[in-house]
Amino acid sequence: MASVEQRFAAGDTGALRELYDRYAGRMYAVAYRVLSDHGYAADAVQQAFVQAWRAAGTYDPDRSIGPWLYAITRHAAIDLYRRDRDHSTIRPEPGELEAVPAGHSPTMEQTWVVWQVRAALDALSPNDQTIIKLAFHAGLSHLEISRRLDIPIGTVKSRSFRAQRKLAESLRHLRPEPASA
């Protein structure tokens, strides 16, 4: 019987799930040490698994896979940090994001949903992204956002409405199917 590493290198998706179950928590810890942010650390783990899966054919199954996955995770976390530092208009203030419980290791499905939401957010204009981040990550009201960004409240409301509508459309595939009668 082939090892999980051999099956992974051969492109077996079942092996990918096994590796995720085995290594996601430790990869998350690696990413969190780099980023100090739970949401970004989860994104880094997801990106690392995507990168690892794309490179599965180049992986040597005779070598230990853990260090390989940790290196990919570290690079993904550094890339996220650089991208955010270079392109983000807003970073939440310390304490604005709720902490993820200790020992939290998201499932593959949860990671996929996070990835889908991040992709939908990334597709928004920078102005719309800023409004969404302030409203949902920082929990600010329209009035507070208006004051922080020094723009009219009507502009905040229209951008918020437009951005939420775009997100709802982009993420409609994540809605559960209605139960059949």
Does residue 153 surpass a pLDDT of 90?
Answer: no
Does residue 175 surpass a pLDDT of 50?
Answer: yes
- Residue 141 is encoded by which pair of tokens? 């009201």
pLDDT for res 23: 93
Q: Which helix (H) or strand (E) holds 19?
A: helix 13-35
- Average pLDDT of the chain is 82
User: CA-CA distance, 163 to 129, in Å (whole number)?
Assistant: 8
CATH class of segment(s) 1-99: mainly alpha
pLDDT tens per residue across span 30-89? 898 888 888 888 888 999 999 999 999 999 998 889 999 999 999 998 888 877 665 444
Residue 106 or 37, more confident: 37
pTM value > 0.85: no
- 74 Cβ contact list (under 8 Å, min separation 6): 30, 31, 34
Q: What percent of the chain has pLDDT over 70?
A: 83
pLDDT for res 125: 87
Three-state DSSP class for residue 100: coil
pLDDT for res 69: 94
pLDDT for res 103: 53
> How far from each other are the two terminal CA atoms of the chain, in whole angstroms?
45
- Helical H runs in 62-141? 65-87, 108-122, 126-132
Contact 27, 105 (CB under 8 A): no
User: CA-CA distance, 103 to 68, in Å (whole number)?
Assistant: 22
